[in-house]
Amino acid sequence: MQLSRRASLHLCAGAAALSLLSLAKGARSQTARTIKLIVPSAPGGVTDILARLLGDHIARTQGATVVIDNRPGAGEMIGTETAARAAPDGNTVLFAANPFVINPHLRKASYDPLTSFEPICQLANAPTLIVVTAASPYHSLADLLAAARATPGSLTMASIGPGSPFHLGFEKLKRMANVDMTFIPYPGNGPSVNALLGEHVTMMFGTYANVAEHLKSGKLRAIATTTPRRIDELPDLPTVAESGFPDYAVPAWFAALAPANTPKAAVSQLAAWLTAALQAPEIEQKLLIQGLYPSGLCGDEFAAHLRDQFDEFGRIIRESNIKAE
Mapping DSSP onto H, E and C, the string for 297-313 reads EEHHHHHHHHHHHHHHH
Q: How many CA atoms lie within 13 A of 297 on its CB side?
A: 17
Q: What is the CATH number of the domain that holds 65?
A: 3.40.190.150
Domain assignment of residue 240, yes or no: no
Domain assignment of residue 67, yes or no: yes
Domain assignment of residue 144, yes or no: yes
Among 206, 225, 244, give the residue marking a domain's end: 225
Among 225, 245, 272, give the residue marking a domain's end: 225
Of 127, 210, 205, which is closest to residue 172 (Cα–Cα)?
205
Q: What is the CATH number of the domain that holds 211?
A: 3.40.190.10
For 285, other C-beta atoms within 10 Å of its C-beta total: 9
Residues 179 and 268 grouped into a single domain: no
Please give the share of the chain, as a percent, with pLDDT higher than 90: 78
Cα–Cα distance for residue pair 271/119, rounded to 1 Å: 9
Domain assignment of residue 239, yes or no: no
Residues 159 and 110 grouped into a single domain: no
Please compute the mean of the pLDDT values over residues 197-224 and round it to a whole number: 95
Residues 97 and 210 grouped into a single domain: no
pLDDT digits (tens, 9 = 90+) for 64-101: 999 999 999 988 999 999 999 999 999 999 999 999 99
Domain assignment of residue 70, yes or no: yes
Domain assignment of residue 266, yes or no: yes
Residues 149 and 65 grouped into a single domain: no
Among 174, 207, 225, give the residue marking a domain's end: 225
Residues 30 and 118 grouped into a single domain: yes
Of 242, 246, 76, 91, which is closest to residue 165 (Cα–Cα)?
76
Of 20, 2, 40, 22, which is closest to residue 257 (Cα–Cα)?
40
Residues 46 and 66 grouped into a single domain: yes
The reported pLDDT for the residue numbered 219 is 97
The reported pLDDT for the residue numbered 12 is 53
Could you write out the DSSP letters of every residue in 20-70?
HHHTGGGHHHHHSSEEEEEESS-TTSHHHHHHHHHHHHHHHHH--EEEEEE
Please compute the mean of the pLDDT values over residues 30-48 and round it to a whole number: 86
**φ, ψ (nearest 5 deg) of residue 265:** -65, -40
Asked if the model's pLDDT at residue 25 lies above 60, the reply is no
Q: At 211, which amino acid appears?
A: V
Estimate to the nearest angstrom the gap between the alpha carbon of 57 and the chain centroid.
Answer: 21
Residues 18 and 111 grouped into a single domain: yes
Domain assignment of residue 246, yes or no: no
Residues 80 and 35 grouped into a single domain: yes
> Which range of residues forms the domain containing residue 284?
2-126+253-320
Residues 113 and 52 grouped into a single domain: yes
Residues 184 and 47 grouped into a single domain: no
Domain assignment of residue 243, yes or no: no
Q: Which of 23-27, 73-77, 157-161, 287-291 has the lowest mean pLDDT?
A: 23-27
Are 264 and 119 spatial neighbours (Cβ–Cβ below 8 Å)?
no
Residues 121 and 9 grouped into a single domain: yes
Residues 154 and 290 grouped into a single domain: no
Q: Indicate the number of domains in the chain.
A: 2
Of 296, 193, 177, which is closest to residue 248 (Cα–Cα)?
177
Asked if the model's pLDDT at residue 122 lies above 70, the reply is yes
